[in-house]
Structure 1
């Protein structure tokens, strides 16, 4: 993920006294990306109760550096939630661009499973932080297009809709949440079985 994008999601741009926007320093952008990646890893291991000191240690930065960029865990979780929304949208776009509708759909759904497995321990802390914004709406539209493309290619049965795929995604999240840490076999089996049920001649 481009570090400038990460920064734009994590921070409010500062302005100089003349009110002319000033580009953030390159090392500050790099530190933002390092901190967010470290926070994702630590939250995945310890949950949202993880300390800022643990995140600083993983990032290889002083805790004061982190507090200068993010006022606390709340701001970090906000930045991570927005980043997840962007990543989901990018995955949907890549799947839609795949010339093979079957491969695109399966890769997207596998991404969703892996994506949710990463944040299993702190998903609840992110739930209220992900708003229904323009990016989320665009992702939903892309999933509908991806579904329609798969139906037209004969990959999915004619009566399958985007709402069916959306319901599968919601159910997949539940299976991931109920699975033991590090055990991806359950949700992958669930995905295979339900995709088979959506194919022609099921």
Structure 2
């Protein structure tokens, strides 16, 4: 049987979890709108005291790092789930749709360079790259992807979807799904496929964004 002290502790933990969820949700909204916003704006939007926020996150950089690491973990989870799909092209589409739905790349576009990534984030980024490459190679093996597309093109594709944003979240989702369908069609082999212009993106070409900007 639970004691009153155990119930009190459990209640405090539940409240702390609710506060943390509210803080992260508020931080995502605040910093996607303005990466330079003060941390106090997050506390105000989350409806928690600034001291409660600082007990969980010692600095704005810690909060930004947590947001982006959560996004990276979601990317990995979407890729791992898609790998279970037996159809190679369907697995590729499922992965991209899941990442677009999670809005992972809005964090990349807005928050890259605002904090110093940890070693754990580096390992997770490597895992994300390996999974995306595996899904891409499966899609290529299906014969559905044009030969001059490279896996690095996927990052640009996902950022293009993240760029579609209007005040109505439901409409934003509709526009992003439409944009993804258009871009997937562009990746596909067609009866008269003209070569893509310019050199393809190179591995690591966009890593510079994650270097901390002073």
After TM superposition, the score normalised by the length of structure 1 is 0.66
Where does residue 124 of structure 1 map in the other structure? 110
Confirm whether residue 42 of structure 1 aligns to residue 30 of structure 2. yes
Q: 1:94 to 1:51 in 2, by over 3 A?
A: same
Confirm whether residue 139 of structure 1 aligns to residue 132 of structure 2. no
Where does residue 71 of structure 2 map in the other structure? 84
The 5 A counterparts of 1:97-116 are 97-116=84-103
SS for the counterpart of 2:151 is: helix
The answer as to whether partners of 1:112 and 1:169 remain within 8 angstroms in 2 is no
The CA deviation at 1:97 is 1.6
The CA deviation at 1:93 is 0.9
The CA deviation at 1:88 is 1.0
The answer as to whether partners of 1:157 and 1:201 remain within 8 angstroms in 2 is no
Where does residue 169 of structure 1 map in the other structure? 155
The 5 A counterparts of 1:176-191 are 176-177=162-163, 179-182=164-167, 183=172, 187-191=176-180
The answer as to whether partners of 1:113 and 1:172 remain within 8 angstroms in 2 is yes
Structure 2 stretches of 5 or more lacking a match? 1-11, 192-214
Where does residue 83 of structure 2 map in the other structure? 96
The 5 A counterparts of 1:10-21 are none
Where does residue 44 of structure 2 map in the other structure? 57
After TM superposition, the score normalised by the length of structure 2 is 0.63
Q: How many angstroms apart in 1 are the aligned matches of 2:72 and 2:128?
A: 9
The CA deviation at 1:194 is 3.3
* Larger RCO, structures 1/2 (Cα 8 Å, 6+ apart): 2
Count, aligned residues: 172
Q: Deviations over 1:7-60 (max 9, x none)?
A: xxxxxxxxxxxxxxxxxx83475133332222113323x322334333223333
